[in-house]
Amino acid sequence: MTAVITKFLTIFAAILLATASGILAAGNPGVIEVMYIARWSAYRNRFDKMIDADPAVDVLGVPMPGTFSIGKGYIDAEDLNRRMRIYMPRTLEQLVTERDLVVMQDAPRGHPEIAEVYFDPKWIFWFVEGVRERGLNLGMWGGDASWGGGGEGDYPSWGETPLDDVLPLKSGGGYNLYGMHRRVFRDPDHPLARIPWGEAPLIEHVNMAQLKQGAIPVADANSRRNSHPWIAYWDIGTGRVLGETEVFGSEGTTHVHDIMRRNWVWYQDFLIYMVYISTGRPIPDDVHQAHRIRNEINLYASRASLMISLLEFVSAFGASTGELFDQLEYMDSMERRAEDHFREGDYGAAAEVFDELEEYWRDLDSRAVEAKERALSWVYIIEWTSVTSMGLLAGIIIWALMVRRRLYREVGITRIAHGST
């Protein structure tokens, strides 16, 4: 009993210490805690989950009402605003304690004519103060709602709010519609340039934002007629703010053709590495290796789920699966170790773990199939016996009816004599 009390007190003291230091609220110190605010639930469900797939990133998606749905009367604005308040922090202290980065991806400030659509001004002041004084990082990504306020997008400009003071780009009056744009990195050796951009589609639309003095340009979107900043950032106060100006609705991103997201396998890496840049986490030297490990980590959950379903199915037939579950549990611990290596930036060690895991998977798959075959052997025998017995019985009946006709007395024939009276 004394040991139990001592253990409880130890755990309780650790919780108090973690709470006081902010570790408990912020989660794993090796993970980038992101608040992802996006217009329309379709964008949020599509991209926050892509970013969240990285072991070094944890995302809280926040739905932001868009003016199109509100203006058409499809969605009740107050209901969506109420839902948004559920996700948003209650205080600045909660925001900076729980989140390392706030990403606003095509998130509108409001609507010039529909007052029901709004972005609470206190959140804007929290973002600004968080960046300047509390070490919060901020990302403003793409869309006419982000940089094109007052132009074609029919959104109020973020440049008219205090948020403009910390943004590395000046909001423009809309977006550029003139042709396709190539991505040109100012520094060809920039870490983000390691992604195979040659396989990506061109940018169709780009916001007409302007680079502010002191901002660090990463890449531009160039067409035959003009050039616009595409990605830029700066360190301001105690945080970093990154801007990305590609419009969602561009052929290369999310609208109609959706070429980039559907066909370009590196699009997820691009979003994740923008999170890395925004928080100062280094982009891997070998992006191909990191890409492969990230896919392995996400594939592992699916493989484990299928294996558990198989073992539970086999257990229902009375097979002993304890050793198989033990092996799967050990493999889970290996996978968690690989994720730890990934978060620490030791991608080589993570790759070695997954190479070893592949051997375990082959062994477990083989043993699971053997267990299934043994468990179902009686099912196969009973099925074979039933089918064979029914076939024999049917054969006997047919033989008795069609071949051994002498068992039955022949029916006499009655003839009518002609001419009888």
Count of Cβ atoms closer than 10 Å to residue 353 Cβ: 21
> 375: which residues sit within 8 A by CB, 6+ positions away?
314, 317, 318, 319
Helix (H) or strand (E) holding 403: none
Q: Residue 35: left (phi > 0), alpha (psi -120 to 50), or beta?
A: beta
Q: Is the dihedral of CA 272, 278, 280, 283 positive or negative?
A: positive
Residue 107 pLDDT grade (very low, low, confident, very high; cuts 50, 70, 90): confident
Contact 175, 148 (CB under 8 A): yes
What pLDDT does 59 receive?
Answer: 93
Contact 326, 387 (CB under 8 A): no
pTM reported for the whole predicted model: 0.78
In 223-280, beta strands by DSSP E: 227-236, 239-244
What angle, 0 to 180 degrees and rounded to 10, lies between the N-to-C axes of helices 267-279 and 287-315? 110
What angle, 0 to 180 degrees and rounded to 10, lies between the N-to-C axes of helices 287-315 and 322-343? 160
DSSP-derived letter for residue 177 is -
What pLDDT does 20 receive?
Answer: 35
For residue 127, pLDDT beyond 90: yes
How many Å apart are CA 151 and CA 147, to the nearest integer? 9
Q: What is the dihedral of CA 349, 47, 145, 121, to 10 degrees?
A: -80
Q: Is the dihedral of CA 183, 184, 187, 188 positive or negative?
A: positive
> Do strands 175-176 and 216-222 pair parallel, antiparallel, or not at all (unpaired)?
unpaired
Average pLDDT score over the chain: 80
End-to-end CA distance of the chain: give it in Å, rounded: 118
Domain ranges of the chain: 15-283, 288-376, 378-404
One-letter amino acid identity for 113?
E
Residue 112 pLDDT grade (very low, low, confident, very high; cuts 50, 70, 90): low
pLDDT digits (tens, 9 = 90+) for 160-186: 889 999 999 988 766 666 667 888 999
Task: Express as a percent the part of the chain with pLDDT over 70.
Answer: 75
For residue 402, pLDDT beyond 80: no
pLDDT digits (tens, 9 = 90+) for 281-313: 999 999 999 999 999 998 998 899 999 998 888
How many Å apart are CA 131 and CA 237, to the nearest integer? 6
How many Å apart are CA 242 and CA 262, to the nearest integer? 25
CATH class assigned to 15-283: alpha beta
For residue 340, pLDDT beyond 90: yes
Two tokens at 400?
């008795």
For residue 13, pLDDT beyond 50: no
How many Å apart are CA 43 and CA 39, to the nearest integer? 7
Residue 109 pLDDT grade (very low, low, confident, very high; cuts 50, 70, 90): confident
In 8-78, beta strands by DSSP E: 32-39, 57-64
How many Å apart are CA 154 and CA 160, to the nearest integer? 14
How many Å apart are CA 228 and CA 169, to the nearest integer? 11
For residue 228, pLDDT beyond 70: yes
The count of C-alpha atoms lying within 13 angstroms of the C-alpha of 339, restricted to the half-sphere facing its C-beta, is 20
Residue 254 pLDDT grade (very low, low, confident, very high; cuts 50, 70, 90): very low
The count of C-alpha atoms lying within 13 angstroms of the C-alpha of 306, restricted to the half-sphere facing its C-beta, is 9
Tell which residue, 137, 169, 99, has the closest CA to residue 237: 137
How many Å apart are CA 235 and CA 261, to the nearest integer? 29
For residue 395, pLDDT beyond 70: yes
For residue 249, pLDDT beyond 60: no
